[in-house]
Amino acid sequence: MALLEVKDLVKSYGDRNVLDGVSFDLEEGEAKVVMGPSGCGKSTLLRCLNLLIEPTSGAILLDGNDITRPSADVRALRSRIGFVFQNFALYRHMSVLDNVTLALRRLKKLPKREAEERAMHELARMDMAEKSDAFPAALSGGQSQRVAIARALAMDPKVLFFDEPTSALDPIMVREVVTLINRLYLDNVTILCVTHDLGLAKHISDRVVFLHHGKVYAEDRIEELLHRDDPVLEDFFGGED
């Protein structure tokens, strides 16, 4: 049984289906990338998967449990899914350490000392332990993204969602973050990543789900998609390989 099963997911705004029957699976320890042209529904898909946006229809099964049913505990579900945002979304009035410990203390109810130990462990894993007292405004984009990843990992999630994790970074920081996410991939962290970044997709993914007009247009290994004789894929990848 897959860790995450998405079945015939639809999200409509009025007459417009942003997601139109999306289905795919994510196995435990797998890293999957969602790619597609702007406006194809990638970010909406990610937000639907932890119910930040309510899907119109379809089913999302996490560990076999349908999280879209009305009786599902949405907050408990969200604490099992780590979410790393494009613009880092660090709480700017809190230090790096407080950013990481906040959910541990308030949601997992860990004592301060234990929460800080776990936070420091994850910050060290992201090479950010020495910045634990710094505030987000003093961090570079790459450092902010590393703190955001540490914050998500500290909650010990079943799966980690990335929403365009490199799009707000310069090329040097992109390499830094790609290396970190690749390290997570090699550590068998289950990852679902929305990105435009072909380099990131090549480094971290087993398979790519290619969305087009709200539907799964193709799902395959990135190398296969790059060499497929298909005008839509060729148009998106622009002959890169």
Of the candidates 83, 162, 185, 236, which one interacts with other proteins according to CB under 8 A? 83
Extract the tokens encoding 204: 């971290």
Region binding other proteins by CB under 8 A among candidate stretches 20-28, 80-88, 119-127, 205-213: 80-88
Judged by beta carbon, residue 10 or residue 134, the one nearer other proteins is 134
CB of 21 to other proteins, least distance (A): 25
Region binding other proteins by CB under 8 A among candidate stretches 15-23, 86-94, 119-127, 226-234: 86-94
Residue with tokens 């079945």: 7
CB of 161 to other proteins, least distance (A): 8
The whole-angstrom separation of Cα 32 and Cα 16 is 26
The whole-angstrom separation of Cα 158 and Cα 165 is 19
* CB 174 within 8 Å of CB 197: yes
Of the candidates 9, 32, 85, 97, which one interacts with other proteins according to CB under 8 A? 85
Q: What angle do CA 87, 85, 60 make, to 5 degrees?
A: 155
Of the candidates 17, 25, 28, 135, which one interacts with other proteins according to CB under 8 A? 135
Stretch 96-125 residues interacting with other proteins (CB under 8 A)? 102-103, 106-107
- The contact pattern for other proteins, residues 154-173, with x = CB under 8 A and - = no contact, is -x------------------
CB of 231 to other proteins, least distance (A): 36
CB of 52 to other proteins, least distance (A): 6
Which stretches does DSSP call E strand in the chain? 4-13, 16-26, 31-35, 57-62, 65-66, 81-84, 159-163, 191-194, 207-212, 215-220
CB of 113 to other proteins, least distance (A): 20
Stretch 137-156 residues interacting with other proteins (CB under 8 A)? 137-138, 155
* CB 102 within 8 Å of CB 93: no
Judged by beta carbon, residue 103 or residue 233, the one nearer other proteins is 103
Stretch 51-70 residues interacting with other proteins (CB under 8 A)? 52
The whole-angstrom separation of Cα 127 and Cα 117 is 15
* CB 123 within 8 Å of CB 130: no
Residue-wise DSSP of 201-240:
HHHH-SEEEEEETTEEEEEE-HHHHHT---HHHHHHHTT-
List residues binding other proteins (CB under 8 A): 50, 52, 74-79, 81, 83, 85, 87-93, 102-103, 106-107, 134-138, 155
